[in-house]
Each structure stands twice: as structure tokens, then as C-alpha cells.
Amino acid sequence: MHRPLSSEGPSSPLEVGVLGITGKMGQALRIICEENPHYTLVGGWSRSAPSSSKNFTDPRHVFEKAQVIIDVSHASCVIDHVKMAAQHQKPLLVCVTGFEDDPVHLLKPLASTAPLLYAANTSLGIALLKKIVYHVASHLGHEAEITITDRHHQHKKDAPSGTAKMLAEAVRQGRTSCIENTSQEGVSELLPITMTSWREGEVFGDHEVTFVTHNERLVLSHQALSREVFAEGALRLGGWLVHQQSGFYTIDDVYS
């Protein structure tokens, strides 16, 4: 049984390691760890970072020192990091997107000796939006035109975003539930899900799911107002993960 996620920090400082510490998300995590007494940054690693007292040249040193490791590096590094987590039996939270293949299918077989949580988006609001999208799709999915739009800063390379793909999967699962629970003819003729991505300015992350039927339009949306929402969410998830047994987890396991 999973321990419920608490909105409060751990009773003693959680010793955190960050992979990809020089990136925007890594820096947001560093700042919170320095300012919040519930967290201690014991070290980090980045492909481009020079060695220092907190920046290690080898990510293995992060696994040796931290209670939980948060990976915000790059998709090309994640498999190696998962293997290190297994070797050191340390909890690893992967917040990386941009995988060529489905990250769940890619990472799940590797999570046998340590807790591994994959979260394309660490925001509580997005976790709730995903549940709402599933619920709406389970009722309207067979008759609605569905569009998913994501907007991010101009530096984000992957499109659609990992969050947009996650929401699309929630739509597909909701549609499946809809079809299984209806006897209407023609429900197998589902309209395609339209995915649209915008990269502009310094947008932290906006996501919108629109359902349009013949006589109404329903819009579900989430807007991140700062990058800190993702960093704070990641640290809360890290605090949850250290209490879990070895195995693979997703955001659905946390907010079940």
C-alpha cells in the first residue's frame, strides 16, 4: 500500500541529488533546496557543469550521497541513470521528456531493485487535469472532436510535450471506457485527436483539452505561472518516493 502524499515537507531534511542541475528546472530545484529547510541539496551533476563542491563530474557520486535523486537531464542519459539507481538501490524520480519511444515501456522493466517514478509533469494541477480529462472522455469521447494544445517557451525542443502526450493517453483510455459501456452504433468510428504545439517567448507551460460536439464546446485547461510549481511538485514526489518499495510508479500511483 502506498503512503499518501503530504503537502508538508518531511520531518527531517530530505537529502536530494539533482541530475541536470545546470538546466532551468535543475536551478529551480537548487534554489528551493537552499531556501526550504525541509530539503538539503547534497549534490548534482550535469553534462556541461564544471566540478565543484556540489557539482560532481560523475553522476554516480550523486547516487552515493543522496536519499532520493531527481533526474531533469536529457532523455539520452536516463537509461544510464536508471541503471545507477538500481545498482545503488536509491529512489529515482525521472522528470525528463523527449524520448523516442514510450518512456513507460522503456523504463518499467528496469525498476526491479529500486523505486522509480516517471512523471512527465510534476504539477498537482496537471495530475488533477488528467483525471478530469479521462472522466470527460469516458462520457463524450465517442462523439466529440478533441483537440489538445500545448504552449511552451521557445527553447523547448520536443513537440508535442510529454504532458500533452499524457493527456492524449487519458483521452484514449477514457474513450475505451466509453465504448465498453455503451451500445450505440458507430462508436468505433472515433474522430482523431488533434495535437497542436506552440513554442514562443518564455511560456512556462500551458495545456488545453477541447471537446466539441454538435452543439457544445467544453474546454479544460491548465496554466503554469512559474517554473517553481514543477520544482516544488518534484520535491514532494521525491519525499513520497523514498517511502515506497522497489518498483515502477507513475503519477497515477501518487494521486490515486
Distance, in Å, from the CA atom of 60 to the CA atom of 87, rounded to the nearest integer, reads 10
Establish whether 135 is a catalytic residue. Answer: no
* Single-letter amino acid, residue 134: Y
| Dist CA 213 CA 235 (whole Å) | 40
Question: Do 97 and 74 contact (CB within 8 A), yes or no?
Answer: no
Q: Which residues pair with 40 in a beta bridge?
A: 15
Q: Of 130, 152, 207, 222, which is the active-site residue?
A: 152
152 included as an active-site residue: yes
Q: How far is residue 92 CA from its own chain's centroid? A: 13
Query: How far is Cα 80 from Cα 62, in angstroms, rounded to an integer?
Result: 13
What are phi and psi for residue 243, nearest 5 degrees? -100, 5
Integer Cα distance of 115 and 104 in angstroms: 14
Helices (H), the chain: 24-35, 59-65, 75-88, 103-107, 124-140, 162-180, 228-241, 251-254
Cα torsion through 100, 164, 31, 202, rounded to 10: 100
Sign of the alpha-carbon dihedral angle for 223, 229, 231, 236: negative
211: left (phi over 0), alpha (psi -120 to 50) or beta: beta
Catalytic residues: 152, 156
